[in-house]
Every structure is written in structure tokens, then in C-alpha cells.
Amino acid sequence: MKRILGIDPGLLHTGWSVIDVAGSTRKYIASGVILPSTKIDFSQRLAFIFNGVSELCEKFNPDECSIEVIFVNKNGKTTLLLGHARASAITAVAVRNIPVYEYEPNTVKKALTGMGHAEKDQIYKMLSILLPTAHPKTPDESDAIAIALTHANTSKFAL
């Protein structure tokens, strides 16, 4: 069995999920969102994300981590800032020697729905079919579960 930590990085909302994988069986364990205050400065927000992911690693002891690759949008500054949040999450995992796997947003959508440009509601519907005990409350949490499932469904696990 492998335990996967899925992360959907963000400066305001970092979604996370934990699933267990054994062969073709996927089991939902937990999910949520790391929410740094918008009232703290940028560096403290990054530290909050780092500490939040560190706590998840300590609590759930994942074997592997999957994280979404950020898309480059029209505003380069926004993309750069989001990259910092992503780096904070990756570093929190990497310092524990947990392998990190990265997935493009369209790869995640295609892995779950068969379509690389699926809408959020289509992903949510597939999550409810694939992991009926998961009930994400936010899109960030839903995305994190989808990222973990993508890794589970596209990786070769030595069980």
C-alpha cells in the first residue's frame, strides 16, 4: 500500500488530500485547505504554507506527493508569486525525502474525466464516483483529491 499526499498550491488556498492506494483500490483518508491569513505579509504566508504541509506530512506520513504544475497566465507577477507558494509546499515535502511528482492541470482533468479541458463540475462528479466517501467543500480541496488520484492512476506502484 502507498499513501499519497495531493496538493493544489495557492497563496490564499492550498488544497490538500490524502489517499491510500493498493493495486486498483483507492481509499479516501482526508482532505482540506491550508488558509494563510491575507493580513500577514508574503513571507509569513509562505511560512504558513510550509508549516501546514509539514504538519500534514507528520500526521499522515505519505509515501509520495503529487502536486499540480502552475499554469502561466497573462500576469507574470501572479505566476511568479504562485510559484513561491508551490515551492513552499514542495520544500516541506522534499526535506522529508518524500518523492514529489508533478502534473499539468490538463493531465489531471484527462486522467479523471477522459477530457483534458473538463470543467470543475465534471471533475467533482468523477470524484464522487471514484471516491464516494470524499466530500470536498472547496474547489481547491477537490483539485487536491483529483491530483492525488491522477498520481495513483498513472503511476506504477511496486506493491
156 Cβ contact partners less than 8 Å away, ≥ 6 residues apart = none
Please indicate whether residue 41 is annotated as part of the active site: no
* Rounded Cα–Cα distance for residues 33 and 35 (Å): 6
Please indicate whether residue 63 is annotated as part of the active site: no
Q: Which of 20, 64, 140, 141 is catalytic?
A: 140
Q: Which of 20, 64, 68, 143 is catalytic?
A: 68
Please indicate whether residue 140 is annotated as part of the active site: yes
Torsion region of 61: left, alpha or beta (phi above 0 gives left; psi -120 to 50 gives alpha): left
- Residues labelled as active-site residues: 8, 68, 140
